[in-house]
Amino acid sequence: MLGNSSPHDPKQLDSFPNPQPERNYEIRFHCPEFTCVCPKTGQPDFASFKIRYVPDQRCVELKSLKLYMWSFRSVGAFHEKVTNTICDDLVALLQPRFLEVEGEFNVRGGIFTTVVCRHGSV
């Protein structure tokens, strides 16, 4: 396997108390410049990530999310693994009522890949 398999650190993620925990409301993020590394070829993979969630007691702090997403730049992992890891790390941090992570990976070999992971329900 090429590339480092896990330089990202979920401890980079930070949170703050939800200012309206009694209400169901949705928070959305769009990260259009995500990169990681193909574990087979070592070439960069480019993706756009969309994250949406309904918080319970905690909300993710935006700067920490940005740095966390950047930390994947040298990670050698398949699209499915990267997307599921992001979902798992956010669920562990936030324990949200609902969370969806969608990774839309740019074309490779004539095929676009979209991976969607969900936790909970609204």
As a whole number of angstroms, the distance between CA 96 and CA 118 comes to 11
Closest among 100, 91, 89, 106 to 122, alpha carbons compared:
100
Q: What does the domain layout of the chain look like in residue ranges?
A: 27-120
Rg over CA atoms, the chain: 15
**Which pLDDT score, from 0 to 100, does residue 122 have?**
74
Digitized pLDDT (tens) for each residue of the chain, 122 residues in all: 344 445 677 888 999 999 999 999 999 999 999 999 999 989 999 999 999 999 999 999 999 999 999 999 999 999 999 999 999 999 999 999 999 999 999 988 889 999 999 999 87
pTM for the model: 0.91
**Which pLDDT score, from 0 to 100, does residue 3 have?**
42
Q: Catalytic residue positions?
A: 38, 45
**Which pLDDT score, from 0 to 100, does residue 6 have?**
52
**Which pLDDT score, from 0 to 100, does residue 11 have?**
82
Kindly report the CATH number that applies to the domain delimited by 27-120: 3.30.1130.10
